[in-house]
Structure 1
Amino acid sequence: MTNLLAGTEVEARSLRWEVVSATQLGQQTLYRLRCLQGELRGTEFDILHPFESVEAVIRDLRPDRAAPLPNWLVDHQAFLLEQSLSGNALLAVQPGRLRVEAYQLVPVLRAIRMSRVRLLLADGVGLGKTIQAGLIITELMARRVVHRILIVCPAGPLLEQWKLEMSERFGLRLDEVNRGRLEEIRRSTELGANPFDYIPLAIASIDFLKQEKILESLERASYDMVVLDEAHHCMDLGAIGEKEDSQRRRLAEVLARRCDSLLLLTATPHDGNDRSFASLCELLDLSLVDGRGNLRGVGYRDCVVRRLKSHIPNRFKNRIVEPKSVVANNQEHPDYIALQHGLLEFLAPELRRAFQKKRYSDVLAVLSKVFNKQQELTPGWEMRD
């Protein structure tokens, strides 16, 4: 329990008191209390807590009992002031649903100190960027800073993972935005209504939102917070970019303009081109980039959180890989040889296209398809470390 502030009304020894001062004495806190009722009214006592119980008095807001409107406004302002927290206090971190590592609190602590949350979470793979984003979202919701939230990520397993993580760990049920959902809202609302206005907690795929007609509706809506996962798909690649890349970039620019708080998530924030990284920072704050697309000094560091597993001591073990040679021949393993040739014919063109476009996450997606296909064709086969 944190020390109660002077002036806080508390209950101790079955009486109401006002905190005069609090002094920390090792594991105990010495409270100087002034009695507010009974024969002891006005008398001050010293009480040691938690040796003796000292509980803050929490008053329920009762608007129906307020007198004139100015009185109600004073009650309302007092209620809001009671909810104010220090710069390091967190409302949303509750035990039971998830185990939070100390390093995962760094982004949310930085976020609550920002007047306008605009962050690039660029931690390495496996450090829990989804959990860190969830902590920021729920903390800002608890502080009544954000109410409407849009999460944008690639379609497929990643989108389903977001829905599951937000539901099970943070109690947020995201409404998936797709063509059917938008048509359903249009049929149930007045003509000309924007369906995005009716989806306060939304999740959608990048490639669905980048479509021209969908983007037009999105541009007329607004969200308090937008989370853009795999943000490297939205880098400005300039002349080497293709039409698909430019559509994703335009979507990112629209989202950045139409939201107050913005979280960009990527494990690969820099593809070797400084202009690409600067284009991500530009989404956060235009002042971070000069007119030629280059970063201005080191001001961007306040908006970027970047850690690797090697930066966190005694937490992640180094994986030791020992290659094992497997020899197959046509006489003993004809089906296996045929399977490998078929997979190679399917895999090679896909990988070539992905590498040419520098979409390295697509390479992983292709490999995932191959493993799934091999599992279908060879029951009992599984991928192991």
Structure 2
Amino acid sequence: MPRPPRIEQFSADEVCVVHCVQRCIRRAWLAGVDPVSGVDYSFRKEWIRRRMEALASVFAVDVLSYAIMSNHIHQILRNRPDVCAHWSDEEVAIRWLRVFPGRRMEEHLAEPTENDVKTLARDKERLAEVRRRLSDVSWFMRALSEPIARMANKQDECTGHFWEGRFKAQRIVDEAGLLACSMYVDLNPVRAAITGGPEGCQFTSAHDRAEGEKGAKVDSAAFDLKPIPTEEAGRRVRETPVEKLRDEHKAKRRNPTGRRILRDAWLSPLTLKPNVLSADAEVHAEGVRSSDRGFLNLSWKDYWSLLCWTADQAIEVAEAKVPEALAKRLSQLGIDVSMWRDLVWNWQPYFGKSVCVGRPESMKQHAEQTGRHHYRGQASGAACFA
């Protein structure tokens, strides 16, 4: 059965959670140690992480979980048109122009001016389309993938594809599916035998959250959301040598706002706030992510405990039991506790080829909404849910 059109999986006009997978061409290790040449490209993982962090500061898209591997990346994204609706026209314009300046860097160094922002804000038809794109998962992935490919090709002095094609998408339709998928993503390095436990899983959301809990900080990659005065921009272009402008721009890209933030500050909070209505957009005001809304009814402490326990079950042990407190929470979500380990570690056989993830009844409901009878994986995954 062919994969359904993206418009049937998710829409920029409604809040939805999507598991995205982007692979390097021919699954080559273009962000790790090349087994043929022996060249280590692992530093590109930081390129990808910083680009995700930068985009999280301008798009109305929450990054819930991620894992950057040597030949592919996983992300769980939640688009937020409700957040985007709260932004003023000028905010939408500067956010868009920071990512898509629409002119060559050699001329103006991609710095949007106050006049650029006002011009876009006055074009209501164009602005409406831009506002929609800022809450579109596909445009987020496009803004992530293209610059990484260009940077890698420039470094390797070659042309051609870096990614094998468009990203694979799976719609996550309930909290049970979201918890299992998030654990699957965070444990990718353990599954690949790169490390023995979550504490060593660098370039994952779990690692960032654990470091953030310890107070670890990094230079923020968030875009500067203040346009430069038009007169100042003109003066700089006229009076400053191009080489100096390039150097200044390169230095600013390392830390556009000059701030240091907690390692996980750009990620969506893990825990949903109690007594907060689902209609509340919880717009973030500090410029490093789109919203302050969590995504699981689980504390970070409990999530980390469950993650570590699941990581220890790399080899299936019949008598291994989920800690009682965590088992109760899994049961509340409708997950068969005895199948939890199997669900996370054998994710690919259950949902690897599915375009929808969740409990069977949730998948069936979404299938009916899109005019289908069922989704692939709906029957095989049923064994893991109560």
Fold-level match, TM-score > 0.5? no
TM-score by length of 2: 0.26
The alignment's TM-score, normalised by the length of structure 1, stands at: 0.26
Higher strand share: 1
Instruction: Name the structure, 1 or 2, with higher relative contact order (CA <8 Å, separation 6+).
Output: 2
Q: Greater CA radius of gyration, 1 or 2? A: 1
